[in-house]
């Protein structure tokens, strides 16, 4: 009988995942065996005859299910970054199994009784801060999952959880399918007028892959975004926009019923737990604490940014008219005229800067930045197995040569990968006794591909995205916690974006740009005047950008603040939620909610505001670096010790106060964005 690599000890370097040995048929047997193994571990804890204590109950729970966690991590990470129809079908089969097992743990009365007893007697255990945080989180996770409910309500929560796990998977699968389903094939040169040579070369290569002539464009960001920025053909821009903005809306991948059911089930679940809305439930465990505070925060930002956004809208409308546009600006016009106006005002655009941001050079610059701030060194290791040939794997060491982490980097789009960019982990950091188990961290992106004549040349937005995801990666890599449940990015959702958005600040600093930006052909350093233009143009249309992000947060909060199931049309509900932020005339054929994976397939439900919340933190935090020098070792060390290493082992505001010495102010964000 052949062995299953997922069930064996990994003999690879650093016990990394042996991707080269794992086949699809290995997953289901691995899941079944790992669930049974974890079930026995849970039963042993629950039936322990020794009086419940922190070690034999809370820590024992924390260290149980290790094999299952490993199998699930590998499977679901690949289901996002390198999937296929068979893997998606398997995910639909596996997810309810895992939900059922999770419910079995939560609903285990003997187990909960032990956890509750430890929690109620925590004073006598003399716990440190991290131990007390783990105990409190574990106890709350039981209560917030229904462990204190009667049997009838527990049974209802079980069924709701299983159905929700299927629906969120289905939502994400539909978005990927709808994104892959659209292609714009062009063969007439006049239809691609305005598009830069590099974009046309990439589109030509894409067409050749599909055995077509001419140029092929799709809805993946490296294709879609430049088309909307540069294509002179307004009708084709409209066609692309309508395809993108109507994904999973009145098409064969329709997510409208899925949304209604997800909202209905989330509401039903939290009502069983005694909450009026899903937002009330979620925000109880966030820095913001309440829906009222979130809405007050978003509306404060809206009041600060909407006047500027309206001015910017009028300016762009007037500018378009000066170029002969005899129509009211529509959404498919915004990026096109914005790019032209930016070029005219600042003599800068993506195609001017792109030659200076060759991916390999940017990667080195970001690695060097991590070296300057935290003493990290990155060493490529081709012997470590990877799940796709395009993935690079690095060993990460500290300044003393001690191993810190593995770092996987997966940069380019493909039909098997979900859109966007994200950081994840194959193994989180944790400790057992004195042994520190170091993490295996990954970032997955959809950056511009190399072509036959050019390497991968990034837009400035892709540079900031790289910095953003790398900030998350540092949060995972530098973790120094005892428990994996509290390590790395296992923090409050409205705190998790602080390390990532903090890193974006360096993209607008002359010191860093001077070091990283170099022309891919000539080797010429980026001209100082071009650096200044990047800095000067940082707040171009910042009011509009603010309002757009706020609109997403308000949409999210509206869906999750309802107190009764929604029967209203998805598009109508969305339009009402975002009405206060609207600058354009509505388009009835488009709907962003049906592809809003962050809140319907990811972990940001009632939490999308967290991006803006964390921007307040990151702008305030970077003020310390501006005051002391952006590479100041002492400041960087404080940020590392008090933020990056601590994960969720303490309350985030306590951690922030230790770093900054004061609570964050909204002023640095408004000033940085040119709104104050």
- Name residue 423's beta-bridge partners: 443
Q: Report the alpha-carbon distance of residue 375 to residue 653 in Å, rounded.
A: 26
Q: Which helix (H) or strand (E) holds 185?
A: strand 183-186
- Give buried/exposed letters for 2-23 (b at 16+ CB in 10 A, else e): eebbbeeebebebebbbbeebe
Dihedral over alpha carbons 200, 204, 205, 206 (to 10 degrees)? 100
Q: Report the alpha-carbon distance of residue 302 to residue 292 in Å, rounded.
A: 15
Length, in residues, of the chain: 676
Q: Which helix (H) or strand (E) holds 672?
A: helix 667-672
109 in catalytic set: no
Packed helices 66-81 and 24-46: angle between N→C axes, nearest 10 degrees = 150
Task: Residue 270: name the closest of 568, 605, 652 by CA.
Answer: 605
8 A C-beta contact, residue 643 and residue 498: yes
Task: Residue 581: name the closest of 303, 393, 349, 333 by CA.
Answer: 303
- Give buried/exposed letters for 303-313 (b at 16+ CB in 10 A, else e): ebbbebbeebb
469, 497, 623, 650: the active-site residue: 469
Q: Report the alpha-carbon distance of residue 498 to residue 421 in Å, rounded.
A: 16
Task: Residue 573: name the closest of 555, 587, 549, 586 by CA.
Answer: 555
> How many other C-beta atoms lie within 10 A of the C-beta of residue 324?
6
Q: Report the alpha-carbon distance of residue 115 to residue 110 in Å, rounded.
A: 9
Dihedral over alpha carbons 489, 492, 494, 498 (to 10 degrees)? -40
- Token representation of residue 60: 């024992």
Own/partner long-range contacts of 295-301 (Cβ < 8 Å, ≥24 apart)? 295/554, 295/557, 297/609, 297/612, 297/613, 298/550, 298/553, 298/554, 298/557, 298/609, 298/612, 300/666, 301/546, 301/550, 301/612
Residues catalogued as catalytic: 469
């Amino acid at each position: 009988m052949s062995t299953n690599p997922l069930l064996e000890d990994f003999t690879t370097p650093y016990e990394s995942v042996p991707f080269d040995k794992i086949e699809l048929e290995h997953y289901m047997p691995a899941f079944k065996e790992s669930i049974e193994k974890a079930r026995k571990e849970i039963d042993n804890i629950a039936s322990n005859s020794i009086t419940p204590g922190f070690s034999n109950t809370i820590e024992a729970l924390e260290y149980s299910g290790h094999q299952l966690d490993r199998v699930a991590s590998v499977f679901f990470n690949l289901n996002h970054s390198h999937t296929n129809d068979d893997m998606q079908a398997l995910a639909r089969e596996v997810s309810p199994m895992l939900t059922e097992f999770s419910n079995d743990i939560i609903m285990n009365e003997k187990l909960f009784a032990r956890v509750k007893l430890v929690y109620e007697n925590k004073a006598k255990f003399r716990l440190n801060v991290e131990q007390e945080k783990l105990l409190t989180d574990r106890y709350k996770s039981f209560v917030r999952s229904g462990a204190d409910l009667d049997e009838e309500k527990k049974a209802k929560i079980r069924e709701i959880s299983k159905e929700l796990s299927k629906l969120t998977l289905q939502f994400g699968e539909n978005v990927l399918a709808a994104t892959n389903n659209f292609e714009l094939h062009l063969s007439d040169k006049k239809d691609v007028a305005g598009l830069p040579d590099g974009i046309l070369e990439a589109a030509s290569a894409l067409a050749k892959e599909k055995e077509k002539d001419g140029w092929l464009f799709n809805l993946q960001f490296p294709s879609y975004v430049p088309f909307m920025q540069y294509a002179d053909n307004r009708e084709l821009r409209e066609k692309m926009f309508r395809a993108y903005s109507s994904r999973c809306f009145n098409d064969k991948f329709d997510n409208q019923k899925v949304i209604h059911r997800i909202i209905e089930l989330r509401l039903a679940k939290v009502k069983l737990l005694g909450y009026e809305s899903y937002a009330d439930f979620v925000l109880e465990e966030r820095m913001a604490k309440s829906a009222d505070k979130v809405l007050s925060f978003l509306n404060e930002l809206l009041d600060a940014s909407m006047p500027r956004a309206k001015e910017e809208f009028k300016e762009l409308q007037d500018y378009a008219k000066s170029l002969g546009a005899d129509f009211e600006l529509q959404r498919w016009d915004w990026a096109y005229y914005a790019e032209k106006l930016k070029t005219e005002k600042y003599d800068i655009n993506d195609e001017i800067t792109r030659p200076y941001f060759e991916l390999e050079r940017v990667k080195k610059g970001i690695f060097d930045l991590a070296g300057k701030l935290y003493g990290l060194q990155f060493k490529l290791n081709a012997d470590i197995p990877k799940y796709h040939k395009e993935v690079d794997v690095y060993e990460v060491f500290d300044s003393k040569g001690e191993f810190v982490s593995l770092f996987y980097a997966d940069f380019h789009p493909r039909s098997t990968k979900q859109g966007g960019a994200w950081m994840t982990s194959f193994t989180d950091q944790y400790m057992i006794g004195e042994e520190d188990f170091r993490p295996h961290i990954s970032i997955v992106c959809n950056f511009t591909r190399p072509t036959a004549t050019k390497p991968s040349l990034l837009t400035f937005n892709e540079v900031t995205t790289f910095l953003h995801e790398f900030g998350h990666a540092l949060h995972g890599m530098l973790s120094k916690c005892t428990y994996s449940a509290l390590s790395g990015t296992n923090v409050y959702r409205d705190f998790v974006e602080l390390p990532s958005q903090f890193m974006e600040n360096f993209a607008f600093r002359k010191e860093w740009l001077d070091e990283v930006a170099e022309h891919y052909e000539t080797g010429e350093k980026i001209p100082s005047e071009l650096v200044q233009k990047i800095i000067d143009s940082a707040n171009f249309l910042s009011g509009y950008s603010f309002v757009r992000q706020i609109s997403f947060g308000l949409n999210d909060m509206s869906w999750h603040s309802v107190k009764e199931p929604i029967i209203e049309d998805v598009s109508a509900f969305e339009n009402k939620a975002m009405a206060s932020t609207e600058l354009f005339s509505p388009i009835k054929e488009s709907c962003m909610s049906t592809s809003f994976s962050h809140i319907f397939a990811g972990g940001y439900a009632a939490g999308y505001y967290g991006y803006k919340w964390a921007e307040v933190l990151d702008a305030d935090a970077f003020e310390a670096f501006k005051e002391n020098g952006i590479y100041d070792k002492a400041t960087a060390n404080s940020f590392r010790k008090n933020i990056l290493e601590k994960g969720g082992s303490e309350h985030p505001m306590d951690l922030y106060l230790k770093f900054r010495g004061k609570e964050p102010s909204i002023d640095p964000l408004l000033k940085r964005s040119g709104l104050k």
